[in-house]
Structure 1
Amino acid sequence: MQFSRLSRLFAASAMAVSAVFVLNACKEDEEVFPAPTASAGAEASGVPGAKVNVTASISAPAGLKTLTVLKNGAAFDTKTYTDGATSDNYSKEYTIESLASGTTVNFTVIATDTKNQASAPVTFTVKVTAVPPKQVVTVKGLLTGNISWTKDKIYKLSGFVRVGGDTTETAAAGVATGTLTIEAGTVIIGERSTKGTLIIQRGSKIIANGTASEPIVFTSERGVGEREAGDWGGLVICGKAKNNLPGGSAQLEGSYKGWHGGSDDADNSGSLKYVRVEYAGVPINPNQEINSFTFGSVGSGTSLEYLQASYGGDDSYEWFGGTVNAKYLVAYRGLDDDFDMDNGFRGNIQFAVGLRGATSADQSGSNGFEVDNDGQGTSAEPFTSPTLANVSLIGAKQSQETFISTLFQNGMHLRRNNKIKVYNTFVTGYPNGVYIDGSTTAANAVAGSLVLNNVVLAGVTGWGTNGYGQGAATQPQGFAVRDVNTSTPAAALTIGTQKPSEWFASLAGNKTVASWTTTGISNTVFGAGRPTFTITTSATDAITKGTSTVTLPAFFTATDYVGAFKDTDWTATWAEFNPSAVVYIK
């Protein structure tokens, strides 16, 4: 029995010793790794808009798992490692925001390893430095040859600055021409005292191609809070395409030697892309203002895209003859008409929006579209016969309580024998939606050479008995489609045997809606500041619904909606809806 007890004790001791050896062996196999380490790169600095690289070096003997980077305590970047790497040189580009000089931006870097150990946080610092003031270069007189304007300078237009020397009715042989190239991000200001204006004369070119992040801006020389419509002239382009003026060559309104016209409908006057024109429209003579954008007989070889006219003292855009095409146009709070077309203009326009200010209207009467064949309504050829699609004309009348100037007139004033074709277009907020004015214009509608298809007219809740002020106690009073003229007493209008409103309703896709509030547009399009342009598709009368199919020329992008927008805001980043607050001269 004694032997048996000793045997048991020996066996127990052996097992215990064995267990100790096993535990020790496991501990020896489980290697202990040091925590990861990180070190930040050298401090960076730059002016607002400059790009710098946030850098750090990290090491993790156990293998990297994640890297987290915070910018002033908020998430900036993360990185996950799955390749077993034990070190990394991190780099991420950062664009310095519009911050005050002396501001410090801190980037905190923390690494973790596969053992969930974290490194001590390290900080990469970016210091914001002052933007050096740009040199202001005054430009006068005649420019010829190849001229370049760059974004590191500001260019001041003093008086009539002309690119090219064609300043007579019939250009003589050997007249000097010029090509002005403007770098993206360049600012051009107009001198107020001399009515600074840029005129691209016939035969010359402007190449002004901005970008969405760096548009080219023509604006007032005055400071924040001082700018107003008519602070300077505007941007004028004269081309060699056909118009219907006597002799085919004419001087633009104001007699400032802006001669335009010829026989080359494919003429190329250059390119405008991502360009803003603000506070233009100075009167050259009494009641003879320059438009924000003026196109005199500009040919189809010219490219126009992503343009904004803001707070102009006359029309935002006016075409006198020509064949130039355009896409993505913004007319913002101009005084007279948003889009004025006459003297044989035959171009194509798609994606355009006009937005009005409640009290800013011209003594001549302000419209979204104003379209004439010529000033007398003759049958001179070529006819004014542009084709437009996907336009939103937003008048100033947001609600019954909104006071608007009595000088506002029509979303579309189609008059004087024109032959316009309009598709997929939305109109609201005007006393009249559409006015087919004059017997020759009505005859063009009967003949099918003036066409409105997929046009939606929306009223304003409570504005009279029909959403256009008709029957209201206050002026102005109007109609979705005018069935009477503006004479006193008013006389009935007809298009063939129909009332204009009946003619409108009979055309494919046209619709009249009682109130814009059911169409899916945002109420912000009536206010100051950046609007929300995208459409609420679930709205009862959403203008993304129920459009008929129309086949348009090859220039046009196929769409399935009415108006300038659906689910994409093409004004984002480059357009400015509060230019009075922008500091241009620093």
Structure 2
Amino acid sequence: MKKIQQSFVIGCSVLALAGCGGDKIVSPGTGGDIIVNNPTPTPTGTPTPTPTTGTVTPAGGCPTIAATGGLRDDGTITGPTGTYRVCVLPAKIDASTRLQYIAGVLYAMDGRVDVGTDGGAVASSADTNVTLTVEPGVILFAGDATNPNGESYLVVNRGNKINAVGTADMPIVFTSRDNVLGLATDASIGQWGGVVLLGRAPVSDCRDEVPNKADQAQCEQELEGAAVTTLFGGNTAADSSGTMDYFQIRYSGFTLTGGSELQSLTTGGIGSGTSINHFMSFNSSDDGMEFFGGTVKMKHVIAVGADDDAIDVDTGAKADLQYVITKQRATGGDHLIELDSPDGDYVLSALPRTNLRIANATLLGGSTVSTRTMRLRGAADFSLVNSVVDAGAAGCLRIDEVPTIDGTGDGPPKFSSVVMKCGATPFEGGSGVTAQQVADLFNNSTNTDSTFTVALTSGFINSDAINGYAVYNANTNLSSFFDVVDHIGAVKDAADDWWAGWTCDSATLTFGDGTGSCTRLPVY
């Protein structure tokens, strides 16, 4: 398999081109720069490359696109990998548009970029039906010469779609201007907003501060911190916001307003018709990904270095994830999994109830500021099966509120074929739940071990001891979405290389195999 090159192509051709004239959807993060230590054990594989003089040469101009106003030629930008033509997207993509992969071209977002116009909670003839297509190998970065990073983010509005499908050899990368310039490091976070997908699937609590008691179409929630009201939600469970595959989102999480930051990937009410796979979040200043309502189904998911939670699920989201790797930085990160539904008076009345089901995860802690790996609350439903947890010095599991642990909804949280290595306080309870109740729930589940010696090769690949552990049939017992597997954890062995080629390396976690450093742009 061809991999992203660590030595860069000499003499890129110049193409002759046409000229170019939380309950809210944002949650708080901690912010600040983070110092990263090497993981233990130090991963094997290809080391982070030593910076060299770039060899990319700029394209002669920007291509033509269908959106009104086209692409703005912003001149060139130079970083460690070479010099590129900068083609700035219009503030609104109002017609179906394709971003071509062209050697020597980078696409830029100067502030918020909308894909289409919000079509409301119910599909109608007024929908703009815009699709943004992004070709394999395309790199989009935030900011221009006058707005270096700033409040730049991409929003796919209801009734519109994104079709961003990379490949294992040529992933799509969303990143910051500092990453292009070579100024971003393994400690950098929060340099731009992120990617937001909005749809018409149900959410559990509405923008008027009342719960959704009957999955009514008029229940909508809004993107907090945006300069204009931006809504999501509806009553179309199978709604589609498009397809994203083989892509990275780096250095996201810029603060839109005080205490309100976006995640790398934020979804709001997206439906089951949306497809998201092979996604890597790197160094988000908030969550690696957060799902607000809707239906999310993902396979092959990686979140490295999130400053808050790696995965956060809320507001009635129904989320199924398989093959998941998460890893915290040494001095950043809160939980690896945070799960919630509406609290207080709404805890049992709001519909749908949040339900997160994860199979084949390898959840790696190691943060000196995190106190626990997983936190469940708000009567949300949860299943974790065929998974490995190494919490480092932190605790493994906290459950808050009696309805979260009792038999309401789909019953208490479910664990099967899960091994954990925890700190001195493995289990915690809160708001009426005791630590002993949490311990009993986990330890009395099927094939679980909270004192397992977790040994991993290259930092994330199973050892023989892990591969010998009993396996749960998630395909039969949870959903046909889940593949039938013969191992627990995200990666069985070195031959199980679903992570190879489309990821990037850092001091926090190294994938090797020619993937290249997260601090540098890939060159194809």
Bin for the TM-score computed over the shorter chain: 0.7 to 0.9
Q: Which residue of the partner structure matches residue 556 of structure 1?
A: 482
Tell me, yes or no, if the aligned pair for 2:119 and 2:127 is still in contact at 8 Å.
no
Separation in structure 1 between the aligned mates of residue 501 and residue 410 of structure 2, nearest angstrom? 43
CA shift for structure 1 position 502 = 1.7
**Are residues 1:214 and 2:170 paired?**
yes
CA shift for structure 1 position 393 = 0.9
Residue among 375, 378, 383 paired with 1:416? 378
CA shift for structure 1 position 445 = 7.5
- Residue 258 to residue 328, structure 1, CA distance change in 2 (3 Å): farther
CA shift for structure 1 position 176 = 2.8
**Are residues 1:378 and 2:378 paired?**
no
Question: Superposition RMSD on alpha carbons, in Å?
Answer: 2.9
- Residue 186 to residue 101, structure 1, CA distance change in 2 (3 Å): closer
Q: Which residue of the partner structure matches residue 390 of structure 2?
A: 428
**Are residues 1:502 and 2:428 paired?**
no
State the AA in 2 paired with 1:330: I
- Residue 200 to residue 458, structure 1, CA distance change in 2 (3 Å): same
Map 1:259-408; keep pairs closer than 5 Å: 259-361=231-333, 366-376=334-344, 378-379=347-348, 380-396=350-366, 404-406=367-369, 408=370
Q: Deviations over 1:112-168 (max 9, x none)?
A: xxxxxxxxxxxxxxxxxxx98432111131112211111112111011100011187
Tell me, yes or no, if the aligned pair for 2:251 and 2:282 is still in contact at 8 Å.
yes
Tell me, yes or no, if the aligned pair for 1:224 and 1:580 is still in contact at 8 Å.
no
Map 1:194-273; keep pairs closer than 5 Å: 194-222=150-178, 223-226=181-184, 228-246=188-206, 247-256=218-227, 257-273=229-245
Map 1:453-532; keep pairs closer than 5 Å: 453-459=416-422, 468=423, 470=424, 479-482=425-428, 484-485=429-430, 493=434, 499-516=437-454, 520-522=455-457, 524-525=458-459
**Are residues 1:139 and 2:89 paired?**
yes
State the AA in 1 paired with 2:420: L
CA shift for structure 1 position 405 = 3.1
- Residue 48 to residue 563, structure 1, CA distance change in 2 (3 Å): farther
- Counting aligned pairs with the same residue, the percent is 27
Separation in structure 1 between the aligned mates of residue 441 and residue 409 of structure 2, nearest angstrom? 9
Structure 1 residues not aligned, in runs of 5+: 1-45, 51-97, 103-130, 397-403, 460-467, 471-478, 526-532
CA shift for structure 1 position 316 = 0.3
State the AA in 2 paired with 1:200: V
State the AA in 2 paired with 1:231: Q
State the AA in 1 paired with 2:471: T
Separation in structure 2 between the aligned mates of residue 585 and residue 569 of structure 1, nearest angstrom? 21
Map 1:161-176; keep pairs closer than 5 Å: 161-166=113-118, 174-176=126-128
3-state SS, counterpart of residue 503 of structure 1: helix
Separation in structure 1 between the aligned mates of residue 411 and residue 11 of structure 2, nearest angstrom? 56
Map 1:66-85; keep pairs closer than 5 Å: none
Q: Deviations over 1:529-553 (max 9, x none)?
A: xxxx32221x4xx254233545331
- Residue 49 to residue 266, structure 1, CA distance change in 2 (3 Å): farther
Q: Which residue of the partner structure matches residue 76 of structure 1?
A: none
State the AA in 2 paired with 1:428: D
Separation in structure 2 between the aligned mates of residue 450 and residue 384 of structure 1, nearest angstrom? 12
Separation in structure 1 between the aligned mates of residue 176 and residue 286 of structure 2, nearest angstrom? 15
3-state SS, counterpart of residue 381 of structure 2: coil
- Residue 47 to residue 424, structure 1, CA distance change in 2 (3 Å): same
Q: Which residue of the partner structure matches residue 462 of structure 2?
A: 535
Moved >3 Å (runs of 4+): 46-50, 98-102, 131-134, 167-173, 255-258, 444-447, 547-550, 578-581, 583-586
CA shift for structure 1 position 287 = 1.1
CA shift for structure 1 position 452 = 1.6
CA shift for structure 1 position 384 = 0.3
Tell me, yes or no, if the aligned pair for 1:544 and 1:560 is still in contact at 8 Å.
no
Q: Deviations over 1:169-203 (max 9, x none)?
A: 88986253410000100000011443110000011
Q: Which has the higher contact order (CA 8 A, sep 6+)?
A: 2
Separation in structure 2 between the aligned mates of residue 202 and residue 218 of structure 1, nearest angstrom? 21
Separation in structure 2 between the aligned mates of residue 163 and residue 310 of structure 1, nearest angstrom? 24
3-state SS, counterpart of residue 462 of structure 2: coil
**Are residues 1:575 and 2:513 paired?**
no
- Residue 346 to residue 447, structure 1, CA distance change in 2 (3 Å): closer
Q: Deviations over 1:328-383 (max 9, x none)?
A: 0000111000000011111311111101101113xxxx101100012546220110
Tell me, yes or no, if the aligned pair for 1:306 and 1:327 is still in contact at 8 Å.
yes
Tell me, yes or no, if the aligned pair for 2:136 and 2:171 is still in contact at 8 Å.
yes
Q: Which residue of the partner structure matches residue 111 of structure 2?
A: 159
Q: Which residue of the partner structure matches residue 125 of structure 1?
A: none
Structure 2 residues not aligned, in runs of 5+: 1-8, 14-51, 57-80, 207-217, 507-516
**Are residues 1:189 and 2:145 paired?**
no
- Residue 502 to residue 258, structure 1, CA distance change in 2 (3 Å): same
Separation in structure 2 between the aligned mates of residue 213 and residue 500 of structure 1, nearest angstrom? 44
Tell me, yes or no, if the aligned pair for 1:444 and 1:450 is still in contact at 8 Å.
no
Give the stretch that moved more between structures: 418-427 or 549-558. 549-558
- State the TM-score, normalized to the length of structure 1: 0.66
Q: Deviations over 1:23-49 (max 9, x none)?
A: xxxxxxxxxxxxxxxxxxxxxxx8479
- Residue 99 to residue 236, structure 1, CA distance change in 2 (3 Å): same
Tell me, yes or no, if the aligned pair for 2:385 and 2:472 is still in contact at 8 Å.
no
Q: Deviations over 1:498-530 (max 9, x none)?
A: 7321221111111122542xxx313x43xxxxx
Separation in structure 2 between the aligned mates of residue 319 and residue 331 of structure 1, nearest angstrom? 14
Separation in structure 2 between the aligned mates of residue 169 and residue 547 of structure 1, nearest angstrom? 41
Separation in structure 1 between the aligned mates of residue 282 and residue 420 of structure 2, nearest angstrom? 24
- Residue 440 to residue 179, structure 1, CA distance change in 2 (3 Å): same
CA shift for structure 1 position 386 = 2.5
Separation in structure 2 between the aligned mates of residue 386 and residue 429 of structure 1, nearest angstrom? 20
- Residue 199 to residue 506, structure 1, CA distance change in 2 (3 Å): same
Separation in structure 2 between the aligned mates of residue 342 and residue 100 of structure 1, nearest angstrom? 43
- State the TM-score, normalized to the length of structure 2: 0.73
Separation in structure 2 between the aligned mates of residue 240 and residue 230 of structure 1, nearest angstrom? 28
Tell me, yes or no, if the aligned pair for 2:119 and 2:126 is still in contact at 8 Å.
no
State the AA in 2 paired with 1:574: W
Separation in structure 2 between the aligned mates of residue 435 and residue 571 of structure 1, nearest angstrom? 30
- Residue 447 to residue 554, structure 1, CA distance change in 2 (3 Å): closer
Separation in structure 2 between the aligned mates of residue 389 and residue 570 of structure 1, nearest angstrom? 15
Specify which structure has the higher proportion of helix: 1
State the AA in 1 paired with 2:161: K
State the AA in 1 paired with 2:340: D
